[in-house]
A and B are shown apart, each in its own frame.
Chain A
Amino acid sequence: MSGITNLTACETASAIAAGKLSAVDVAKAYLAAIERLEPAICAYNEVFADRAMDQARQIDAAISRGESVGPLAGVPVALKDNICTDFGRTTCSSKILANFHSPYSACVAEKLLAAGAVILGKTNLDEFAMGSSTENSATRTTRNPWDTSRVPGGSSGGSAAAVSAGLAAAAMGSDTGGSIRQPAGLCGVVGLKPTYGRVSRYGLVAYGSSLDQIGPITRDAADCALLLRAIAGHDSRDSTSLPADVPDYLAELETPLKNLRIGLPKEFFGQALDSEIRSAIDKAVGTYKSLGATAVEVSLPHSRIDVGPGGQLSSYAVACYYIVATAEASSNLARYDGAHYGHRTAGPVKDIIDMYSKSRAEGFGDEVKRRIMLGTYVLSSGYYDAYYLKAMKVRRLIKNDFDEAFKSCDALICPTSPTTAFKLGEKTADPIQMYLADIYTISLNLAGLPGVSIPAGLSASGLPIGMQLVGPVLSEGTLLRAARMFEKTSGTCNLMAKMVQS
């Protein structure tokens, strides 16, 4: 049975559609893998075993009746637990939503179900998607399948670990500052943050509304194209959703791009970069050149990474993000008031303000409290101009740099993360150290651009190295084709399955 869980989502969908595999056999294989490996990985907050089997039986019945089924028929998919479903719970890995049952489903959940995907469960995350290691979860500690003493990255750590370990064929994550790409990089899988507005945010629990975007985490670039095609498109329930047609991302995927111009942002290849990661990226650029691509140096001065005298890293983009994102978070998370839904304190209260303050104190973890307080401060009277307005101006400068860079290239290549997967507990004591895990991913969210992290190989100690491809607005098709060119040549697709089989 383990062979089934090593198949990609595309292979699984084709085998089911062709009658070579049944959806029930696929669901059983994944549920068996979850039973075997989940105690060691802890990727899931909730597994919908019965529901998944029911769905699989319905798909098999439809196929046996000769009915046409969707492009994801029978493919087991996991959802990050900040994506609402009208079945099971949606907890955001927070105590404040521990028993929350959403009355409706997110647009992406509806679209996946309509395409025939079998929803396996809801995956763990940093509470409200605030973190880079999934250690800020109030529910469990997810472990990296490549080395269980290390983090899976975050905040979509449960989704990345599940796809990597064969506990889901594909998964959905959300990315506000790197939360799809960084865990995908650390777990050796593919993770795409689409252009802001490409995928509807309806039913995604809001963190930083001008930055949040849902995207797929998959075994390879073809699966990423398959999943993106299923979830992209305009949705009138999200007023920031882009009214742009969805191309068939699979149609030209296998056709290599001719004359691809790669931009290498010089600010991302300075002394802050780990030498093993640098050499993996250099090698990948060499692979692209062997496929006919050219490389040019470009500059992103406002995303520059500085190294201080003590080795501490700093970046305007990270600084800008922690003002914009926390300001938006402080406003978005005001809805958790203990009145409408979520946790309410059981203790005695003086008045309604006291009820709010005690309920929130009991329900939120420390990182969420820090971000709410920081956001409250930067928006407060007397500091708004110095922090929030300043950050919105710097955000424009960051975006302008990318616009300039794309005049001379089609896509940028850079690392996904400054290091490979770090040890559990290594960065939890120092919030700024944790924030710096997103130093290469964060400026894309500010600029609204798409980016995909793909595996670029393994470090000497056997940990995955992520490489990020970045493109202009709505260039997902180009990015996925570029990713496909690389992974087919380098053999880095479906990396964990190859390791398990070898």
Chain B
Amino acid sequence: MPQKIDNELVRHIAKLGRIELADEQVGTFGRQLSAILDYVGKLQELNTDGIEPMAHAVELRNVLADDSPGESLKPDQALANAPQRDGDFFAVPKVIDDSQ
């Protein structure tokens, strides 16, 4: 199961995680990730048949909030840290390619 993280897989993971990697970083990250995965592969030694997975440390269930309106951020507060804004909107590069 422990898998060798080759350069192609490093590029794929980085793409999924939206992190651009320079070519010279790919090999280093690949070696480090392989070593870490090899290390965490130790868990395969343990028999976990019939064990219920534990997602949270102290389990609370069905935590509900009152359905009542409260204060929220004003548009200017919410936009105060925006790298680029356009009126009350966050401005980003064009998403849809309309050249075709």
- By a CB distance below 8 angstroms, the chain A residues around B69 are none
Query: A390–B81 Cα gap in the complex (Å)?
Result: 39
What's the A-B contact tally at a CB cutoff of 8 Å?
171
Quick one: given A197-B58, A240-B56, A377-B13, are A339 and B46 in contact (CB under 8 Å)? no
A249 at the interface (CB under 8 A from B): no
Best-surrounded residue of A338, A343, A375 (most CB of chain B within 10 A): A338
- By a CB distance below 8 angstroms, the chain A residues around B1 are 386
- By a CB distance below 8 angstroms, the chain B residues around A380 are 13, 16
Quick one: given A103-B73, A319-B42, A431-B32, are A356 and B83 in contact (CB under 8 Å)? no
Residue among B36, B37, B54, B94 making CB contact with A396, cutoff 8 Å: B54
Residue of B nearest to A396 (CB): B54
Quick one: given A357-B18, A376-B13, A390-B44, are A352 and B93 in contact (CB under 8 Å)? yes
Quick one: given A197-B60, A447-B57, are A360 and B19 in contact (CB under 8 Å)? yes
Query: A369–B19 Cα gap in the complex (Å)?
Result: 8
- By a CB distance below 8 angstroms, the chain B residues around A357 are 15, 18-20
Question: When the two chains form their complex, are residues A351 and B13 in contact, meaning their CB atoms are under 8 A apart?
Answer: no
Question: When the two chains form their complex, are residues B46 and A397 in contact, meaning their CB atoms are under 8 A apart?
Answer: yes
Q: Which of B74-100 contact A (CB under 8 A)?
A: 77-78, 80-84, 90, 92-95, 97
- By a CB distance below 8 angstroms, the chain B residues around A387 are 40
A260 at the interface (CB under 8 A from B): no
Q: Which of A310-344 contact B (CB under 8 A)?
A: 314, 316, 318-320, 322-323, 330, 334, 337-344
Residue among B36, B43, B58 making CB contact with A391, cutoff 8 Å: B43
A219 at the interface (CB under 8 A from B): no
Quick one: given A103-B77, A341-B81, A360-B20, are A322 and B51 in contact (CB under 8 Å)? no
- By a CB distance below 8 angstroms, the chain A residues around B94 are 351-352
- By a CB distance below 8 angstroms, the chain A residues around B40 are 319-320, 322-323, 387, 391
A394 at the interface (CB under 8 A from B): yes
Question: When the two chains form their complex, are residues A314 and B42 in contact, meaning their CB atoms are under 8 A apart?
Answer: yes
Interface size class of A (residues with CB under 8 A): 35 or more
A429 to chain B, nearest CB (A): 10
A361 at the interface (CB under 8 A from B): yes
Quick one: given A314-B42, A394-B43, are A210 and B81 in contact (CB under 8 Å)? no
Question: When the two chains form their complex, are residues A396 and B53 in contact, meaning their CB atoms are under 8 A apart?
Answer: yes
Query: A340–B57 Cα gap in the complex (Å)?
Result: 31
A302 at the interface (CB under 8 A from B): yes
Residue among B58, B78, B82, B95 making CB contact with A448, cutoff 8 Å: B58
Residue of A nearest to B83 (CB): A344
Question: When the two chains form their complex, are residues B95 and A351 in contact, meaning their CB atoms are under 8 A apart?
Answer: yes
Question: When the two chains form their complex, are residues A340 and B81 in contact, meaning their CB atoms are under 8 A apart?
Answer: yes
Question: When the two chains form their complex, are residues A320 and B29 in contact, meaning their CB atoms are under 8 A apart?
Answer: no
Question: When the two chains form their complex, are residues A370 and B32 in contact, meaning their CB atoms are under 8 A apart?
Answer: yes
A178 to chain B, nearest CB (A): 15
- By a CB distance below 8 angstroms, the chain B residues around A319 are 39-43
Residue among B29, B53, B83 making CB contact with A393, cutoff 8 Å: B53
Question: When the two chains form their complex, are residues A344 and B43 in contact, meaning their CB atoms are under 8 A apart?
Answer: no
B55 to chain A, nearest CB (A): 6
Quick one: given A103-B73, A340-B82, A397-B51, are A360 and B18 in contact (CB under 8 Å)? yes
Question: When the two chains form their complex, are residues A394 and B18 in contact, meaning their CB atoms are under 8 A apart?
Answer: no
Interface string of A428-472 (1 = CB under 8 A from B): 000110000000000001111000000000000000000000000
Question: When the two chains form their complex, are residues B33 and A370 in contact, meaning their CB atoms are under 8 A apart?
Answer: yes
Quick one: given A340-B81, A392-B53, A397-B48, are A376 and B16 in contact (CB under 8 Å)? yes
Best-surrounded residue of A314, A319, A322, A343 (most CB of chain B within 10 A): A319
- By a CB distance below 8 angstroms, the chain B residues around A196 are 56-58
Residue among A323, A334, A358, A372 making CB contact with B20, cutoff 8 Å: A358
Residue of A nearest to B56 (CB): A210
Query: A396–B46 Cα gap in the complex (Å)?
Result: 12
A404 to chain B, nearest CB (A): 15
Residue of B nearest to A103 (CB): B77
7 new A-B contacts, CB < 8 A, other than A338-B83, A386-B1, A393-B54, are A99-B81, A361-B20, A373-B19, A376-B16, A380-B16, A393-B53, A447-B57
Tell me the B residues contacting A by CB distance below 8 Å: 1, 5, 10, 13-21, 29, 32-33, 35-37, 39-44, 46, 48, 51-58, 60, 63, 65, 73, 77-78, 80-84, 90, 92-95, 97
